Structures are given as structure tokens and as C-alpha cells.
């Protein structure tokens, strides 16, 4: 069964997380967080606060029910007092941890749950590069599913039940997809990037066709037919929405697939080239170097595609799980 385009990309990037938890906050507080890789997600279950991003002039007001995605890794601050000097997360004292929830100032006013997604696959910029520094999700009852997944993931990680890590992985995928769905439902026509084309059923049909048969001899008229548009309208709309031409997008997608095959598949380069629509290894190698910056052979020798973007994650997570609590948000 063919996957849809978003599932294709997420499968290629191999999202995973073992990090989940939350804050129960009281009184006046302000917490600063270091830059991060991957995507962070927070859901405000009760109370209200501000999100302050380093390169954004105006803080973002968050109220109960709101969810946010932070995909671009910059440092940020969560606070209920904009005049208060932020305390680095690592220096919070005193903090009481119970079941993955950090209680500050006796809690009781604001409850925040959070998760942090890493990407084991290369080229996470394909997804994250299309997104703004913060995506604010609200005014949609489906947010309940996102908060439910966060809470269930936190419980699985902190209760240490058999199979908990596997359950948490599945919940993480569900949570990430749900958050991206909510995000896409409110951004059509306002941003440029392949991700936003998925909000347009016609463009999504063309992208889905390219993903389903990346080795096919796609032409602009054939893709326009898949989209149910004229050739000129399709070319213009695709470029305006995705930021590149349909055939340039296809070339990039083929090379991302090739990168994964070169790392994880034992097939010869010539075989990979043919499967992606190239009649010769030479033509494939030229296209690969243009997109990926090195030859296929150099890329295949450069290391595993499943390396984690968090070299510290395994040790930190194991340490926190041994305490029965996850403290890294």
C-alpha cells in the first residue's frame, strides 16, 4: 500500500523520541531553554503564559488548550512574567519531580506537557526548513488528540511498564503527525515549501504520484494531469507554493531516496540509479552530486544514515529512566 507524501517523508527521516514530561508551575516564573535539534512540542493544559523567541520581537501569548511546535531549534523562554529574568532550565532550583512533572513554586497555576522529537534520518531540513520558528495550534478540537498522546507518552516513559518504550515510539509518531495536520489545516497559501503543498489536494495528488513512482518518466504535462490542472496553471501554482519547479522537486526527492538506499541497501549504484529513473550510473552520479554535494560513493562511505542528531540523548535518557523520571524537555 502506497504511503501519502507526509508519511513518505517522515518514514525517510525516521522520527523518534524518548523525551516527554511537563511542568506544574505556580507564582511568578520564567524558564530559558537552550537551542535544540528536531522539533519540540508543548501543550498548555491549564493557566496561561508567554513564549519568547530570541529572534522574534513580539512574545506569543499561550492560553489553556493551546499547543505549539518549535521546529527550528532556536533558544526560547516560557514565562508568566515578561519582566522577570529567565532562569536556565538546567539551573532550576528547587524543583520537585514526580512522574515526569517538575513542580515549581508549589505549582497549581499552570500545567504544561512537552515532548521532543529527534530525527535519525539525514536531511531533516526537508521537513523543518519549510516551517517557521513557531507554529501556534489553537481553535481546533482535534488538539485533544495531541494532548492525549503527550500525556500517554509521558506515562509510558515514567511508569517503566513492559513494552513502554515501543508504545512511546508509536505515540510519538502519532503526536507528530497530529501536530503537523493541525498546523497544515491553518496555513494554506501563507507559506512557501513542499509541506504546505500538502494542504492543496491537487498539488498533493501530483506530489503523491511522484513519491509513489519516483523512477517513472514524469513530465510536466503528466504531473499536471495528476493534479487535474492545465500545464501552465500547475507549473505556476506548484512553483509559488513549493518554491521550486515540479521536476526540480522530483530530482530532489529522488536523491533523498538514493541517499537512504546508499546507506541502507546493498545494491550496486547502477541498480539504484535504474530504480530511480536514470539510464546510466554516470547521469545518476552527476544528478546526485548536484543535489547532495558529493558523489554517491563518497556519500555511501560517509557513515550511517541512522546516526542520531542527539549524541547525548541515549546517555541522558538512560540516566533519567533509571530514576523513573524524564527531566529533559
Whole-angstrom distance, CA of residue 182 vs CA of residue 191:
15
Show me where the domains of the chain are located: 12-189+314-322, 194-300
Cβ neighbours of residue 37 closer than 8 Å, sequence gap 6 or more? 73, 118, 119, 124, 309, 310
**Residue 299 contacts by C-beta under 8 Å, 6 or more apart in sequence?**
259, 262, 263, 288, 292
Mapped onto helix, strand or coil, the DSSP state of residue 31 is strand
Using the structure block, give the residue that is written with the C-alpha cell 523518534: 16
CATH topology identical between 12-189+314-322 and 194-300: no
- Between strands 15-25 and 101-104, the pairing is parallel
State the chain's maximal CA–CA distance in angstroms.
67
Grid cell for residue 181: 495536520
Which residue, among 117, 104, 125, 118, has the nearest Cα to 146 in the 3D structure? 117
d(CA 313, CA 118): 9
Mapping DSSP to helix (H, G, I), strand (E, B) and coil, where does residue 133 land?
coil
Q: What is the pLDDT of residue 43?
A: 86
Sole residue written with cell 519582566: 83
Per-residue cell: 84: 522577570
Instruction: Give CATH for domain 194-300.
Output: 1.10.10.60
Question: What are the pLDDT tens digits along the chain (329 aa)?
Answer: 456 788 887 777 777 665 677 889 999 999 999 988 888 888 888 999 999 998 777 899 999 888 888 887 789 999 999 999 999 988 877 677 776 788 898 899 999 988 887 776 666 776 676 677 788 876 566 677 777 777 787 777 667 788 877 777 777 777 777 777 777 776 655 566 777 788 888 999 999 999 999 999 999 999 999 999 999 999 999 999 888 999 999 998 999 899 888 887 788 999 999 999 999 999 999 999 998 889 999 988 875 443 333 322 333 333 343 333 334 46
Half-sphere exposure of 270 (CA within 13 A, CB side): 1
CATH entry 2.60.120.280 includes domain 12-189+314-322: yes
Q: Is-contact 112 42, C-beta < 8 A?
A: yes
Task: Say which residue the cell 538546567 belongs to.
Answer: 90
CB < 8 Å & 24+ apart, contacts of 142-147: 142/178, 142/181, 142/182, 143/43, 143/65, 143/66, 143/67, 143/182, 145/174, 145/178, 146/41, 146/43, 146/67, 146/175, 146/178, 146/179, 146/182, 147/43, 147/45, 147/67, 147/113
The DSSP letter of residue 324 is T
Amino acid at each position: 500500500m502506497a504511503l501519502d507524501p507526509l508519511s513518505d517523508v517522515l518514514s525517510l527521516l525516521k522520527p523518534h523520541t524518548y523525551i516527554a514530561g511537563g511542568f506544574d508551575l505556580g507564582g511568578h516564573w520564567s524558564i530559558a531553554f537552550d537551542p535544540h535539534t528536531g522539533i519540540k512540542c508543548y501543550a498548555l493544559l491549564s493557566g496561561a503564559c508567554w513564549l519568547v523567541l530570541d529572534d522574534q520581537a513580539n512574545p506569543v501569548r499561550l492560553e489553556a488548550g493551546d499547543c505549539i511546535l518549535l521546529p527550528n531549534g532556536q533558544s526560547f523562554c516560557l514565562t508568566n512574567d515578561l519582566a522577570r529574568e529567565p532562569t536556565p532550565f538546567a539551573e532550576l532550583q528547587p524543583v520537585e519531580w514526580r512522574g515526569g512533572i517538575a513542580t515549581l513554586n508549589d505549582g497549581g497555576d499552570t500545567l504544561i506537557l512537552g515532548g521532543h522529537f529527534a530525527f535519525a534520518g539525514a536531511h531533516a531540513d526537508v521537513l523543518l526548513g519549510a516551517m517557521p520558528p513557531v507554529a501556534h495550534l489553537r481553535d481546533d478540537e482535534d488538539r485533544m488528540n495531541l494532548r492525549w498522546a503527550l500525556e500517554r507518552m509521558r506515562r509510558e516513559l515514567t511508569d517503566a511498564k513492559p513494552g513502554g518504550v515501543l508504545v512511546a515510539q508509536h505515540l510519538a509518531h502519532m503526536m507528530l503527525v497530529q501536530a503537523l495536520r493541525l498546523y497544515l489545516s491553518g496555513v494554506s497559501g501563507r507559506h512557501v515549501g513542499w509541506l504546505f503543498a500538502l494542504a492543496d489536494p491537487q498539488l498533493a495528488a501530483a506530489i503523491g504520484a511522484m513519491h509513489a513512482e519516483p523512477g517513472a518518466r514524469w513530465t510536466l504535462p503528466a504531473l499536471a494531469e495528476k493534479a487535474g490542472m492545465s500545464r501552465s496553471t500547475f507549473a505556476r501554482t506548484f512553483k509559488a507554493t513549493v518554491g521550486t519547479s515540479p521536476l526540480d522537486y522530483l530530482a530532489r526527492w529522488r536523491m533523498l531516496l538514493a541517499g537512504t538506499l546508499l546507506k541502507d541497501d546493498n545494491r550496486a549504484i547502477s541498480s539504484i540509479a535504474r530504480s530511480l529513473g536514470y539510464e546510466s550510473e554516470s547521469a545518476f552520479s552527476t544528478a546526485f552530486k548536484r543535489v547532495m554535494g558529493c558523489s554517491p560513493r563518497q556519500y555511501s562511505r560517509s557513515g550511517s544514515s541512522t546516526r542520531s542528531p542527539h549524541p547525548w540523548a541515549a546517555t541522558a535518557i538512560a540516566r533519567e529512566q533509571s530514576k523513573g523520571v524524564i527531566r529533559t524537555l
